[in-house]
Amino acid sequence: MPDLVTYEPIDRIAYITLNRPEALNAFDDALNQALGSAWRRFSGDDSVDVAILKGNGRAFCAGADLSSFIPRWEHATPGDLRKNADFGLGGGIVRGQHRIYKPIIAAIHGHAVGAGFELALACDLRIAAHDAVFGVFEMRAGLHQGDGGLVRLVAIAGIATALELTLTGRAVSADEAFRLGLVTEVVDGQELLAAAQAKAQQILKGNQHAVRSAKETIFELIGRPLDDALRLEALHGYSSFGDFSEVRRRIERFSRPSR
């Protein structure tokens, strides 16, 4: 049986692939647990600094597998609910393992709907193929987001867009997602991985101590009063360099006269 999630570390990039194509990479328990293991590996893997998350087959992720998802919560106990609050779908990257400060890029094609949309929103950057489709499809099953989708949709696109997309549950094309700020780039399908790799290479050019500190700081700034946020940014920013010798080398490169 093939791995439900594959993990390939190549040249400082971890390629994490959802591999349940027959179900459009919809989450069942096994896929969720496998992705959780991949995130733990990525977090502790010193050979990689960026992850690219993608889906095998015709879709990025079609959400939760309703054949197993609905029966579970129909008979859930308070203990089940409490346990779920500590670790959500998406292998915990939506909630529970969301404090990974290495950048994560989602390379999205086909459907990224329901929990798949929530998974995409939990990534730091999203690049979409022209055939990508997004949507709060939970509403079609009589539910709404419970794995960070509302929190991140409000933060990324604003209250008005979060309300409209959630209350209607309608499909959103890649081009509209770009206009709404849900994705950073839209490319032809055959160029999707290359575009994600190019974005990863831009990140890898930076001081990785500073990159991770910046991501951590952004997370910490959310919801804070202005004065607290400004102090926290100063504290993190002026201590983000890690090995100061690397900063000196970078400054010297910038200071050299061009020829």
Catalytically active residues, by annotation: 118, 138
DSSP the chain: ---SEEEEEETTEEEEEE--GGGTT-B-HHHHHHHHHHHHHHHH-TT-SEEEEEESSS-SB--B-HHHHHHHHHT--HHHHHHHHHS-TTTTTTTTSTT--S-EEEEE-SEEETHHHHHHHHSSEEEEETT-EEE-GGGGGT----SSHHHHHHHHH-HHHHHHHHHH--EEEHHHHHHTTS-SEEE-GGGHHHHHHHHHHHHHTS-HHHHHHHHHHHHHHTT--HHHHHHHHHHHHTT--SSHHHHHHHHHHHHSPP-
